[in-house]
Structure 1
Amino acid sequence: MKVNVFKISQRSPDDVSALDELIQTQKLNPMTIAAILGKTEGNGCVNDFTRGFAVQSLKNYLTQQIGSEQSQKIIYIMSGGTEGVLSPHLTIFTREESPLTEPTHKGLVLGRHHTRDFLPEEIGTLTMVKVVAAGVQTAIEDAKLTPKDVHFVQIKCPLVTATEQTEKQDSYTSMAFSRGASALGVAVALGEVSLEQIQSSDICQRYDLYSSVASTSAGSELKNCEILVLGNADSTSAFVIGHSVMHHALDIEAIHAAIQATGQPREQVVNVFAKAEADPTGRVLGCRHTMLDDSDISHTRMARAVVGAVIAAVIQDPMIYVSGGSEHQGRPGGGPIAVIARRSEKSSDLTR
């Protein structure tokens, strides 16, 4: 497998000009696009329509290029919210088979899966955990990976809209439960948590149950889950991925650890993918924070701004993917962080 990674800026959620330039100059074959991850400039909450607008614009454009059937196979994951210095952008992953004559090394591979649509009453439940777990396993097989070589699992999951909400879940609450159930599905698929350990009441309650590589983002623009698995295996890719887990919003050491895990210097970093949340204890490094007490601005927006600034300062690039709300994604108050880097010519194979 050969995976290529392209990172391009966007002037607006419907801006496909940079993608079009890559295609028109034949730097990117649209038939090989496997997944597109984006940061859009909405609020990242229930009524963030920039996510759906971006997906619609991409699908319309790519349908003209490669046809409806092929464009529907692509994984589209848009994360809303570019607070602070975060810059709107798209990360495009292509995948193709390599000639058998090309030498292989430990490099980036990907797998993907679209789950079935979920009923409103299934979102954030054990049923969702099970369906996502099965979907992640399928994506791992699609990537020809082993669980220990998985470094990042990105999932776009649905939420319950106002017309669908029940007495137990309103729209905003459903975002957290959808993210949490999806993350636990990743944990089950990778053997980090056994299904028998999880009770329905544990979702968004028992945060000692989590995945170290899950990143989940909820939105109203879909009813199913779109799953992207990234890891290292024998490939001809010019990229590698590494990960770590941030223990708090200012955990610079975890950023450096994720970069180091790629075996490449900071200058080779292509993009960083991280989760962010306001520490539920109300403290960061022992000091009180007020993100959870602010009634004007969602705490997920504040957390994205903080973590985004910390990561951007380390790699000196504001075009990074930071998603808010890390229920069951890493330890409370922190979250998984993954780094994709371009292999230097002198790189040796990774050991993991």
Structure 2
Amino acid sequence: MTDDGLVPIIDAFRVPLDHSSDSSGLERLVAEGRLRPDDIIAVTGKTEGWQPGETSRLDADRAVRSFLLDRGTRSADVINQIPMVFTTGGIGMLTPHVVVYTRTRGEPSNDSAGRLAMGVTRSEIVRPEWLASTQLIEANVRAIRAGAQDAGIDPSAIEYVVGKAYYPTQQDFTEARAAGHKIPEYDDKTLFRRASGSAGLAVAVTADGLAMPSADDIGEKLDLWTAKVAVSANPWEPVGGEGPQTQLVVMGNRVGAGGRLRVGHSAMADTLDIDALTRALRRAGLDVGPGPLSAEHRARVVAVYVKFSATPDGRLRGRRQVIENPQYVNQVKAALGGMFSAMLQDNLVWISAGATHQGPVGGGTVAVVVDVS
């Protein structure tokens, strides 16, 4: 709280996308006087891409940054530092959309349970040799601590972290080895597990007090996990920022913060554990019952995040899955989209696969941002 008695207020707006470069919904919010572009500090989004080589994630990122540059007063350098966490795979009944988070100032809430506090952060530039050690975990830990500080919360009060981890390309590794760095040969699937797993383990270290794992644990010792994270990974894309960094949005509930929002999370035991959504909603402060949400509760849901991993042994609750099918993960994502949409009675859900160290093996994590005003 400052001398004027005002405190940070985090608000959020969920906007469907008519196409991957669509900013018309944001323009409408500005025209209605509900959104100031200069107040936006973070963006998450679900885009429509579903096949290799598609560019929907980049298109959406560039469209939002262009909107902020054209409609606001901040410089391109400042806008490029805003974390934007887009995930592709808008399949089944999932609707592509963005959630934009704003930070303003106002009166503190008198709710003893607190209100949403948010910090935004990026790691240092990721070096290829870091993937062979714990250096990427350590860099992410530093970034998460900075995000907690930006949110005004202790790291132990972190409720959820949404982010995008980047990893170097095979060419980057070739050049690093030529420069004298000893780096094992990694295939792309292993690189994904090590990059996204390093982010998951960093949240576990920072928020849960996990002892620093060994380099050999990353992507392998899957009984090390946290329920407080959804971070995906892919090679660096030419969007905001200086280079391959982990970009993170850190959320918690802080007593004395202002606004209308709270966040809650839950571990998803497996991909049939739809009750994880109910647990997250209740933790966030909505007194929901079993089954689909009522119209009143549905109107209070502002954002939903689901991170999942496919069953590693090919069985779900003892029953065989056809994991040999190359479309298996996308089909599970579509199935989860149907499950969560049916419970929410709304299909604006952010769902991402590849939950390495993010929730139990074969399960994942769920988080919700809700209006408790």
Contact preservation (8 Å) 1:145, 1:231: yes
Q: Secondary structure at the match of 2:221?
A: coil
Q: CA deviation at 1:24?
A: 2.4
- Confirm or deny that 1:50 pairs with 2:56: yes
Aligned AA (1:206) = K
Q: What is the letter of the counterpart of residue 334 of structure 2?
A: A
Q: Distance in 2 between the 1:207 and 1:284 partners?
A: 17
Question: Alpha carbon RMSD of aligned pairs, Å?
Answer: 1.8
Pick the aligned partner of 1:259 from 255, 271, 281. Answer: 281
Displacement after TM superposition at 1:219 (Å): 2.6
2:321 partner amino acid: H
CA deviations over 1:43-101 (Å, ceiling 9, x no partner) = 376x44221221112112211222313322321111111122111000110012224xx
Equivalence for 1:232: 253
Equivalent residue for 1:175, pick from 179, 192, 195: 192
Structure 1 residue 191: Cα displacement: 3.2
Q: Shift of the alpha carbon at 1:162?
A: 4.3
Asked whether the equivalents of residues 224 and 357 of structure 2 are also in contact (C-alpha less than 8 Å), the reply is yes
Are the equivalent residues in 2 in contact too, given 1:44–1:80 (CA < 8 A)?
A: no
CA distance in 1, matches of 2:81, 2:218: 30
1:64 equivalent among 62, 70, 75: 70
Determine if the alignment matches structure 1 residue 290 to structure 2 residue 330.
no
TM-score scaled by structure 2? 0.85
Q: 2:105 aligns with which of 84, 93, 97?
A: 97
Q: Structure 1-normalised TM-score?
A: 0.90
- 8 Å CA contact 1:155, 1:225 repeated in 2: yes
Match of 2:116, as an amino acid? L
Contact preservation (8 Å) 1:151, 1:243: yes
Aligned counterpart in structure 2 of residue 334 of structure 1, from 363, 367, 371: 363
Rounded Cα–Cα distance in structure 1 between residues aligned with 2:89 and 2:322: 19
Please name the residue that 2:234 is paired with: 219
Correspondence for 2:117? 109
Q: Structure 1 residue runs of 4+, over 4 Å off? A: none
Distance 1:165 1:73, change over 3 A: closer
> Which runs of 5 or more structure 1 residues have no equivalent in the other structure?
345-352
CA deviation profile, 1:182-205 (whole Å, cap 9, x unmatched) = 11111111134111xx11111111
Q: Which one-letter code corresponds to 1:202 in the other structure? A: D
Per-residue CA deviations over 1:227-272 (Å, capped at 9, x if unaligned) read: 1111111211111111111000010221111111122144222221
Q: Distance in 2 between matches of 1:145 and 1:334?
A: 28
**Partner residue in 2 for 1:347:** none
CA contact (8 A) 1:249 1:306 kept: no
Q: Which stretch shifts more, 116-125 or 131-140?
A: 116-125
Matches within 5 A, 1:68-83: 68-83=76-91
**Deviations, residues 139-167 of structure 1 (Å, cap 9, x unaligned):** 01111112343221112111333433556
CA distance in 1, matches of 2:170, 2:139: 24
Give me the whole-angstrom Cα distance separating, in 1, the residues matched to 2:58 and 2:127: 20
Kindly, what percent of the aligned residue pairs are identical? 26
CA 219–44 in structure 1, closer or farther in 2 if over 3 Å, else same: farther
2: distance between equivalents of 1:104 and 1:31? 27
Choose from 228, 244, 251 the match for 2:266: 244
Q: Aligned AA for 2:275?
A: E
Aligned to 2:140: 132
Count, aligned residues: 336
> What is the distance in 1 between the residues matched to 2:54 and 2:125?
20
Contact conserved, 1:35 with 1:75, CA < 8 A, in 2? yes
Alpha-carbon distance in 1 for matches of 2:336, 2:211: 30
Which secondary structure does the structure 2 equivalent of 1:97 belong to? strand
- 2:240 maps to which residue? none
1:207 correspondence with 2:214: no
Report the AA paired with residue 113 of structure 1.
T
CA distance in 2, matches of 1:44, 1:207: 28
Higher gyration radius (CA): 2
**CA–CA distance in 2 between the matches of 1:103 and 1:177?**
40
d(CA) in 2 for partners of 1:148, 1:314? 30
Query: Within the alignment, does 1:38 sit opposite 2:63 as a pair?
Result: no
SS in 2 for 1:236: coil
Shift of 1:124: 6.5
